[in-house]
Chain A
Amino acid sequence: MHSTLLRLVWGLATVGLAGWLAFTLANPDADRRVFQPGALTDGHHQIELACESCHAPFGGVRQEACLGCHAAELEAALDSHAASIFDDPRNAADLARIDVRACITCHTEHRPEITAVMGVTLPADFCAPCHETVADDRPTHRGLSMDTCASGGCHNYHDNRALYEDFLVERGDGGLETFAGALPPRETWVSWDAGERAPLTAADADAPAPAAGDRALIDAWAGSAHAAAGVGCGDCHRPEGTAWSDDPGLSACAACHELEPEGFLAGRHGMRLAAGLEAMSPAHARLPMRADARSRTLGCGTCHDAHAVDVRPAAVDGCLACHDDEHSAAYADSPHARTWARELSGEGPPGSGVSCASCHLPREPRRVAGAERIVVEHNQNANLRPNEKMIRDVCLRCHSLRLSIDALADPALIRRNFAGLPARHVASIDMALSRRE
């Protein structure tokens, strides 16, 4: 009797648990973290509830899922180890040891205990299987251990555009100079021609009450580039005959600003939206954030005031309103911050100031619809994986290559937000130059 009851309870509990698990698994809105074998990397934890972003049901992780988000940057990086290089059957023996064609060979998810920088889950000497004998051809490499190739500031696996030998030789002269350079000019790039519409004034504001009564808001807009370009309240708040919304979403901005949302949605700020989840918030962040920012959510308007349309506050104040890690907190007293203050006050010429955005959301020359444009890369992480990505388009505009490489390889200096000179020296330039003597 007693044991029958126990069996019944056990059976019911089992069925109930199985049912609950099945329901949770099948329901995209449920909290499915219960199925996670281990925490995700810093680059993916934002979308941990969107399992389908990476997993095919019963099919594992598809290579196309990785490439869907990362292919374009790999191509732009002139990927030194593109999978297409290795498809040749002559590499069969190497591939049997390490199949470098699949992203997940080196970047296994849910394994925090073995995950290193850049989400690499192989031991740090992963170059060895194919490049063990490098010192035979390059005496400069004698005595170097294979776990320093990619961690020492000399090489990256994918992106070596600022590190390859000829690049080092060409720009390797001199010491740790800084000179008065300039970042690319600011340029607004929208999908329609300036001058298409007549400018608007405060009298043209077509907002309903109570917004209509907010004088400060209306005046800010009337003085902005939006009003000057003929963009009125309804264009954003009531696009194409929809009901008035006090808080227009990304799509309202994207209607004219086509390029920026793409980067935003690809970065850590916007990737939750891209995966169909609710917007990213400092509350979900792993980096230290200000306590008073926890309830904020990330959209265009988080950093940009659409009524004032001055992009400069977004470049520092926008970031520091949430970010509260050592590097961010050290910005205020950094040499870069001084250049930014001078540019804002008019003492320094346009482009001479270095804000957070200068490095993390940089203005980049790009070809758009056949024309050379300056576009802001709104993927805040594009320049950070790995950080040598910022050398070419940002650092070198004012610093020598030597200083740039050394500084980016010095974590303590990065934490101090580049106050002072690098304590580390990366020998790559010296090695490259010595081979040409």
Chain B
Amino acid sequence: MYGNVRDSSAAVDWAVMMMLLVGRHRLATAVLLVSVLVAGCGGGSAGGGEPGGISPQAMADALHTVIEADRTVYARHVVNRLQDQEQVIEASEHWQDDRTLPLPAQMFRMGAELAAERTDRFRYALLSKWPVNAQNAPKTEMEAAGLVAVAADPSQPFYGTESLGGVDYFTAVYADVAVAEACVNCHNAHPDSARDDFAVGDIMGGVVIRIPVG
């Protein structure tokens, strides 16, 4: 599926098409990044795919770069600043009712759901071994193994393949770090949280990115 992006101009075309299709700033950036990466490789393999194509791994890494950047910006410059430092407005789970900011995890999921409405080329989720929401606990073997691996060594993403519902996926898991006080304060105090001893800098879970292959 990704092997057929043969040369850099085709990759750029594909990226532009994706931008139009997806119409979303950060995803478009991610896709552009992938195409630039491929162009930069001058037709070489970018991480184990077919020669000249964008490998699922390179695509997942690029997507994750953007997802993580947006997530960090929201946590630091929106939630942590407004809620914990300037104490102007809180982030809360029932943000529509409370007229507050959506939680970082909700922001994440809303983005993931909107992206999924527009493309089935990838899907991403925020999970944890110590979830607040039990539905965010690992469900597949790959998720469980990935969350253990990135908790042990957050510098290394975890990669694997799995078959779900008859479709083969390339699955990548990246560590999700407590980048701000707000993360740990809220999770430690939440009645549904499976842990109350998170500290800033700890691994709180993982971002799982799936790309259908084959």
Contact = CB atoms under 8 A, between A and B. Distances in A.
B26 interface: no
B96 interface: yes
A89 B192 contact: no
Interface stretch (A41-49, A110-118, A159-167, A187-195): A159-167
Interface in A81-98: 82, 84-85, 87-96
B165 A96 contact: yes
A88 B93 contact: no
A240 interface: no
A231 B165 CA distance: 62
Contacts of A93: 139-140, 164-165
A84 B117 CA distance: 8
B81 interface: no
A95 B165 contact: yes
Interface residues of A, dominant DSSP: helix
A70 interface: no
B169 interface: yes
B141 to A, nearest CB: 11
Nearest to B120: A87
A90 B191 contact: no
A88 B125 contact: yes
Nearest to B110: A84
Given A95-B165, A164-B94, A166-B93, A87 B191 contact: no
B24 interface: no
Given A137-B134, A137-B192, A436-B191, A92 B116 contact: no
Contacts of B210: 89-90
B61 interface: no
Most buried by B among A92, A95, A133: A92
A4 B89 CA distance: 89
B70 interface: no
B180 to A, nearest CB: 23
A92 B164 contact: yes
Contacts of A88: 112, 116, 123, 125
Contacts of B139: 90-91, 93-94
Interface in A5-59: none
A131 to B, nearest CB: 8
Contacts of A366: none
Contacts of A435: 191
B153 interface: no
Nearest to B98: A166
B113 A85 contact: yes
A414 B169 CA distance: 52
A78 B106 CA distance: 13
Interface residues of B, number: 24
Interface in A72-86: 78, 82, 84-85
A88 B165 CA distance: 11
A436 B167 CA distance: 43
B176 interface: no
A167 B116 CA distance: 30
Nearest to A92: B165
Contacts of B192: 137
B164 to A, nearest CB: 4
A78 B96 contact: yes
A90 B146 CA distance: 14
Contact of B97 (A90, A91, A95, A167): A167
B130 to A, nearest CB: 12
Nearest to B208: A90
A79 to B, nearest CB: 12
Contacts of A78: 96
A55 B154 CA distance: 52
A78 B113 CA distance: 14
Interface in A124-181: 130, 133-134, 137, 161, 164, 166-167
Interface string B143-174: 10000000000000000000011010100000
A87 B164 contact: no
Nearest to B114: A84
B62 to A, nearest CB: 20
A78 B94 CA distance: 10
Contact of B116 (A84, A164, A166): A84
Nearest to B167: A89
A133 B137 CA distance: 13
A268 to B, nearest CB: 28
23 contacts: A84-B117, A87-B113, A87-B123, A89-B164, A89-B167, A90-B125, A90-B139, A90-B140, A90-B143, A90-B164, A91-B139, A92-B164, A92-B167, A93-B165, A94-B139, A95-B165, A130-B135, A133-B134, A134-B134, A137-B134, A166-B94, A167-B97, A436-B191
Interface of B: 93-94, 96-97, 112-113, 116-117, 123, 125, 134-135, 139-140, 143, 164-165, 167, 169, 191-192, 208, 210, 212
Closest 10 CB pairs of A and B: A92-B165, A92-B164, A84-B113, A89-B164, A90-B139, A87-B116, A88-B123, A435-B191, A89-B210, A88-B125
Given A84-B117, A87-B116, A161-B97, 18 more contacts: A78-B96, A82-B113, A85-B113, A87-B113, A89-B164, A89-B165, A90-B125, A90-B143, A90-B210, A92-B164, A92-B167, A93-B139, A93-B140, A95-B165, A96-B165, A167-B97, A435-B191, A436-B191
